Structure 1
Amino acid sequence: MFPKPESALKPNTYAFESRPMVKPTGFREYDARWLFEKEINLMGMQALGMGIGTLMHERGIRPDIVVGHDFRSYSASIKMAVVNGLMAAGINVHDIGLALSPMAYFAQFALDVPAVAMITASHNDNGWTGVKMGIDRPLTFGPDEMGRLKQIVLSAAFTTKSGGSYRFVDGFPDVYFRDLTDRPKLARPIKIVAACGNGTAGAFAPRILEALGAEVIPLDTELDYTFPRYNPNPEDMKMLHALRDKVLETGAEVGLGFDGDGDRCGVVDNEGEEIFADKVGVMLARDISSLHPGSKFVVDVKSTGLFNTDPVLQANGATTDYFKTGHSYIKRRVTELGAIVGFEKSGHYFFNAPIGRGYDDGLVSAIAILDMLDRNPDKTMADLRRDLPKTWGSPTMSPHCDDEIKYDVVDRVVARFKAMKDVGETIAGHSITDLITVNGVRVVTDDGTWGLVRASSNKPELVVVVESPASEERLHAMFKAVDALLRENPEVGEYNQTL
């Protein structure tokens, strides 16, 4: 019988090498993230694989799963530990090797396999590891599946079966390449910078974009799991500034930045302006709804209010549903509503038919942006940005807050804002007109300025975003007011970045 996992073990000890360690907080709302060797060890990852296999049997899923891993020094070893656990549970493993997360999702369709377990820490710093999982393509685990998986793993309630198998799917990147490039080329060779932060996307993105007819200027595309310049995260201003500098240096028409596992895409326009992903989403929604009038979109609560107020979207009959932040939530909502696209401010875009298959793929997003430019040859990316109604928005800002307390802190913040609204108290000198509490709290004032506070689903952090359609001064005033309220909670630490 496989041992029951322990929440903490001391490294470099007999116990660490002999027993599974799994910190309970690593089971997040819709995927799993741990600091490797501090919060989980290889036997813990083997327990996770057994848990995934057990859950598949419980749910009556055919015992076949795709696995892949991102480009980090430890990801391949972690993947094989998960594979051992899956096989012990009687699961047939189809290993596509080094891959982007969307390649693993695509493999579910291309190989006709129902389940996926992608070993990736996504945009997290080195030291982190994790798994993105799904058993119902194109969906990934939500709270229900994650909650049950946590129960199985932590209680060691595993189903062990004979008959598990392993096969390596040789040459799968070529299958993915053909799927994305088997289409008409761009009408002209759009000059782009492709930034990959030395992450996994560097092995695939430049080749695919060149095959579509783009003129590609590579930036940090050499694979290097030390991430020597910056973390591959297109929400990180350091990466966006490096992309901006390269665009201005080369005169590129657009800069595209991909995260560590290639499921997100950040954008810098031809004038070096970083366009936050929610604003790019509005631009794409305009383009798509002009081709498909009456389009339905889903966006997360961190996103700009323009999806509801933009006159072009209104004229095209587009409708937008604001929903919980998180790739699993938005992906599921897109499927439920039959929306054509779901957009997250983080840069996860979920294109449904006829553009995609419902999962998030940074390269599909990049191709959609290039198609938009191709359909508007008389306008630059900056022109398309300026066409939007003006708003002032913040990057995603994340103050530290321990996993064990962050949800309690958010509950306190929600209650505080509700009390303020109930008694007519203002925030930053303006009255509160709405509180959206589908995911944390989004407080909206009488001039349309809003601020969001929620708990990060994959790191020990809170998430803060603010936007104002009124002025930059109102943007800063709202941030100052939200931050002051947060500081009433001593558990809230320093930000990763601010205005």
Structure 2
Amino acid sequence: MLPKPRADLKPNTADFERIPLVKPTGFREYDARWLFPQEINLLGLTAVGLGMATLFEERGVPKRIVTGHDYRSYSASVKQALINGLLAGGCEVHDIGLALSPMAYFAQFDLDVEGVAMVTASHNDNGWTGIKMGLNRPLTFGPDEMSRLKEIVLSGTSKPAGGGRLIFVPDMAERYMRALADRPKLKRKLKVVAACGNGTAGAFAPQVLEAVGCEVVPLDTQLDYTFPRYNPNPEDMGMLHAIAEAVVQHKADVGFGFDGDGDRCGVVDNEGNEIFADTVGVMLARDISAQHKDAVFVADVKSTGLFMTDPVLIENGAKTLYWKTGHSYMKRYTFEQKALVGFEKSGHFFFQPPLGRGYDDGLVAALAVCDMLQRAPDKTMADLRRALPKTYQSPTMSPHCDDEKKYGVVDRVVAHYQKLAADGGTVAGQKIRDLVTVNGVRVTLEDGTWGLVRASSNKPELVVVVESPVSEANMKAIFADIDGLLSQQPEVGEYNQKIEV
């Protein structure tokens, strides 16, 4: 039995080598993320694995779990420590080696295995590690499972059990890529930029796109865990700008950007314009709703208002529901509502049967864009973008805020706008038309301009997004109001990127 984890251990001490270190804030709403080794050590990861085995037993789920790891210098050792705990807890572990998160989700179906524990920090900076977990495919843990796992691990009450077994699956990457390519070849000749930010997707994305008939221009596809140019994050303007340059230089039809674990996809059109993922979602929803009558979609609260107001979607009889941001929330809600697709502004897209298996896969999203272009042979990606009603939208902006403080800050922001709405006050010179508080607060003004503030689910940050269907000035005006309010909160720090007002 492992000693009870502690949160105050320091590296390069004897206790660090014999006692699990687990910082409680690493257990987030639906993922686990820690700085390694400052916030979790290898024994701490073994404790997490043992805790997962205990949780599976509590929930009556067979203790069979797929494991994989992303391409970071320490991910293989992190995964091995996790596996040690899973085996000690009596799990049958199917290890698929270096993998994308959607490859691990695919393996659950392909191997008929109930659980998953994918070691990845996704697009987080180097130094971070994490685990995406699930016990009921295609879903991943939500707050209920995460809070219970946290209790089990931090209490140190997990007990070893017999019967653990490790099975290495050496060919899962080939099986995954073969399954994605098992479809008719594209009839429209498409030249695509595949940008991977030197992350894990570089080992898989170009091959899949080539296999379906694309001419591929690789960009930063050589695996390099130092991420020498930028973090593999398709919401990062640095990555989007690099894709745009490559698209223009190579006269490509479209540019795709994949994040560090391959479950998200960013898009740049043939003219080098970066298209935010929620706008891509509207374009795909137009295409899909033309094929599927009365289609139901889900969009997260960070996403554009066009899902509700676009005339083509209305004409096609499509219905869109807004829900909480976060891949586990969106995956579960899309599944529960039997929606065709869930679209998240960060680039997580969830294609349900018959279009997919319900989990988020950046390559499935890229193939959907290729299919959309094939069904519009006389249109370019830029043509399809221009066909949408004009809106003025910000990128996702994230000011620093400590994990222990961010939810309190958001609570104060929500209360501020609720009181303002109740008192008939104004924001940026307009009355508040609507407040959505399912996930932070989304403030919508009389002319449809809106702004969102929420707590990041996987980093010590807040999340801010603004949009106006009327003008750039109105978009900047609501951001100025939100930014002014946040500047009054001493816990809020610098932004990762920020629009000028």
Instruction: Output the TM-score relative to the length of structure 1.
Output: 1.00
**Which residue of structure 1 aligns with residue 332 of structure 2?**
332
**Which residue of structure 1 aligns with residue 92 of structure 2?**
92
**Which residue of structure 1 aligns with residue 480 of structure 2?**
480
Displacement, 1:422?
1.1
Residue by residue over 1:454-485, the C-alpha shift from the partner in whole angstroms, topping out at 9 and shown as x without a partner, is 00000000000000000011111111111001
Distance across 2 between alignment mates of 1:160 and 1:54:
9
Distance across 2 between alignment mates of 1:4 and 1:384:
57
Displacement, 1:293?
1.3
Distance across 2 between alignment mates of 1:308 and 1:378:
27
The answer on 1:45 being equivalent to 2:45 is yes
**Which residue of structure 2 aligns with residue 116 of structure 1?**
116
**Which residue of structure 2 aligns with residue 189 of structure 1?**
189
Task: State whether residues 186 and 214 of structure 2, in contact with CA within 8 Å, keep that contact through their aligned partners in structure 1.
Answer: yes
TM-align CA RMSD: 0.5
**Which residue of structure 2 aligns with residue 391 of structure 1?**
391
Identify unmatched segments of 5+ residues in structure 1: none
**Which residue of structure 1 aligns with residue 131 of structure 2?**
131
Distance across 2 between alignment mates of 1:439 and 1:173:
36
**Which residue of structure 1 aligns with residue 356 of structure 2?**
356
Distance across 2 between alignment mates of 1:267 and 1:159:
47
**Which residue of structure 2 aligns with residue 320 of structure 1?**
320
**Which residue of structure 2 aligns with residue 291 of structure 1?**
291
Residue by residue over 1:269-324, the C-alpha shift from the partner in whole angstroms, topping out at 9 and shown as x without a partner, is 00110000000000000000000010000110000000000010001110011000
**Which residue of structure 1 aligns with residue 345 of structure 2?**
345
Distance across 1 between alignment mates of 2:94 and 2:245:
41
Matches within 5 A, 1:265-304: 265-304=265-304
Matches within 5 A, 1:72-221: 72-221=72-221
Distance across 2 between alignment mates of 1:391 and 1:8:
48
Displacement, 1:420?
0.8
Distance across 2 between alignment mates of 1:8 and 1:174:
43
Tell me the amino acid that sits aligned with residue 83 of structure 1: I
Displacement, 1:345?
0.2
Q: What's the secondary structure of 2:52's corresponding residue?
A: helix
Distance across 2 between alignment mates of 1:218 and 1:484:
42
The answer on 1:235 being equivalent to 2:235 is yes
Displacement, 1:409?
0.3
Distance across 2 between alignment mates of 1:157 and 1:332:
29
Distance across 1 between alignment mates of 2:482 and 2:63:
48
Distance across 2 between alignment mates of 1:93 and 1:10:
31
Displacement, 1:159?
3.2
**Which residue of structure 1 aligns with residue 9 of structure 2?**
9
Tell me the amino acid that sits aligned with residue 265 of structure 1: C
Displacement, 1:110?
0.1
The answer on 1:440 being equivalent to 2:440 is yes
Tell me the amino acid that sits aligned with residue 211 of structure 1: A
Displacement, 1:70?
0.2
Distance across 2 between alignment mates of 1:482 and 1:428:
10
Distance across 2 between alignment mates of 1:282 and 1:458:
26
Q: What's the secondary structure of 2:234's corresponding residue?
A: coil
Q: What's the secondary structure of 2:231's corresponding residue?
A: coil
Residue by residue over 1:203-240, the C-alpha shift from the partner in whole angstroms, topping out at 9 and shown as x without a partner, is 00000100000000000000000000000000000000
Distance across 1 between alignment mates of 2:157 and 2:290:
52
The answer on 1:64 being equivalent to 2:38 is no
**Which residue of structure 1 aligns with residue 367 of structure 2?**
367
**Structure 1 vs Structure 2: percent identity of aligned residues?**
70
Residue by residue over 1:427-471, the C-alpha shift from the partner in whole angstroms, topping out at 9 and shown as x without a partner, is 111111111000000001001000000000000000000000000
Q: What's the secondary structure of 2:426's corresponding residue?
A: coil
Distance across 2 between alignment mates of 1:155 and 1:361:
35
Displacement, 1:189?
2.2
Tell me the amino acid that sits aligned with residue 464 of structure 1: V
Distance across 2 between alignment mates of 1:252 and 1:8:
52
Tell me the amino acid that sits aligned with residue 45 of structure 1: L
Displacement, 1:423?
1.1
**Which residue of structure 2 aligns with residue 489 of structure 1?**
489
Aligned residues: 499
**Which residue of structure 2 aligns with residue 417 of structure 1?**
417
Q: Which moved more, 1:151-160 or 1:233-242?
A: 151-160
Residue by residue over 1:343-375, the C-alpha shift from the partner in whole angstroms, topping out at 9 and shown as x without a partner, is 000000000011100000000000000000011
Distance across 2 between alignment mates of 1:282 and 1:2:
50
Following TM superposition, the consecutive aligned residue runs of length 4 or more in structure 1 with deviations greater than 6 angstroms are none
Distance across 1 between alignment mates of 2:324 and 2:63:
31
Distance across 2 between alignment mates of 1:188 and 1:278:
25
Distance across 1 between alignment mates of 2:383 and 2:53:
50
Residue by residue over 1:94-129, the C-alpha shift from the partner in whole angstroms, topping out at 9 and shown as x without a partner, is 000000000000000000000000000001000000
Q: What's the secondary structure of 2:427's corresponding residue?
A: coil
Q: Which moved more, 1:481-490 or 1:69-78?
A: 481-490
Distance across 2 between alignment mates of 1:332 and 1:118:
18
**Which residue of structure 2 aligns with residue 248 of structure 1?**
248
Tell me the amino acid that sits aligned with residue 262 of structure 2: G
Q: What's the secondary structure of 2:217's corresponding residue?
A: strand
Task: State whether residues 188 and 377 of structure 2, in contact with CA within 8 Å, keep that contact through their aligned partners in structure 1.
Answer: no
Distance across 2 between alignment mates of 1:371 and 1:125:
33
Identify unmatched segments of 5+ residues in structure 2: none
Distance across 1 between alignment mates of 2:8 and 2:309:
50
Tell me the amino acid that sits aligned with residue 115 of structure 1: G
The answer on 1:451 being equivalent to 2:451 is yes
Distance across 2 between alignment mates of 1:8 and 1:70:
28
Q: What's the secondary structure of 1:434's corresponding residue?
A: strand
**Which residue of structure 2 aligns with residue 18 of structure 1?**
18
Q: What's the secondary structure of 2:184's corresponding residue?
A: coil
Q: What's the secondary structure of 1:464's corresponding residue?
A: strand
Q: What's the secondary structure of 1:130's corresponding residue?
A: strand
Distance across 1 between alignment mates of 2:432 and 2:171:
56
Q: What's the secondary structure of 1:125's corresponding residue?
A: coil
Distance across 2 between alignment mates of 1:273 and 1:490:
36
Displacement, 1:172?
1.0
The answer on 1:55 being equivalent to 2:32 is no
